[in-house]
Amino acid sequence: MITLKRLRLSDPEDGRATWIRDVWPRQRLDQERVQLFAQMYAEGGPDALPPVVTVKAEDGVILADGVHRVCAAWSLGWESLPEEVLNPLPGRDALTAAFLVALDRAAKSALPLTFSERKRAALRLLKACPDFSQRQIARLVGVSHTSVQRWAMGEDETDDNGGTRVPTPLSADALARAWLRRMWTLEQRKGLGDLLFGDRMPQRLAQAALDVFGDQAESKLWRYAKWWSEAVELVKRE
């Protein structure tokens, strides 16, 4: 059972916290959902809804799924709820592991994530999980991989108000700079440069191209190779 009186909103730096706001993929509470859950709890007891899900951390646990259920229980004055405790995924810190669990559960929920929530989740995964392909991230958050590609390049789209999602215009020069800055940022991350740019870089690029471009992988790589080759020659002339 999770003890609700220990559960509070906190900054990620506070290791004692069991609910860290940044882990939750949603941007706001749905009060009608909280009221519905409170009614279900009042009528059926703590087992009326599935247990909340937490992930083990160094000091306690982090709430990954069940924020609306927790708020419903709070409104009833309850002090605990059934809890399912998970271990962090191999190679992931507790915060990232909790976020991945939260995202997976939200994707299966009857209350879908909004477009802006999906974008926010994709941007976080691009930073926190550089080993994920853009297609993997797109599947996790429920958007097209072209949207993830645009966001990775620093482009923007409209919010959830029903308008056409038009990318923010970028000049060709700005796009080239954004591309190189992204590569440089990845290379500078601790340990990531050796991982990405070591002896197996060609194999990794080949697999990444297949993941991202599918049947067009070879033609895309030839195109990029031509760009790099010509860029090297231009730099030599400067």
pLDDT in tens, 17-43: 356 777 888 888 888 989 999 999 999
pLDDT in tens, 174-203: 667 767 766 666 565 545 555 555 667 778
| Domain ranges (residues) in the chain | 1-111
The mean per-residue pLDDT over the stretch 151-170 comes to 55
pLDDT, position 23? 83
pLDDT in tens, 38-83: 999 999 999 999 998 888 887 778 888 988 998 898 889 888 888 8
CA distances from 105 to 27, 42, 192, 233 (A): 15, 24, 29, 50
Asked if 115 and 34 touch (Cβ cutoff 8 Å), the reply is: no
Sign (positive/negative) of CA torsion 125, 131, 134, 138? negative
Q: Which CATH number fits domain 1-111: 3.30.465, 3.30.1890, 3.90.1530, 3.90.1690?
A: 3.90.1530
Q: Is pLDDT at 163 greater than 50 in this prediction? A: no
Here the tokens at position 57 are 């951390």
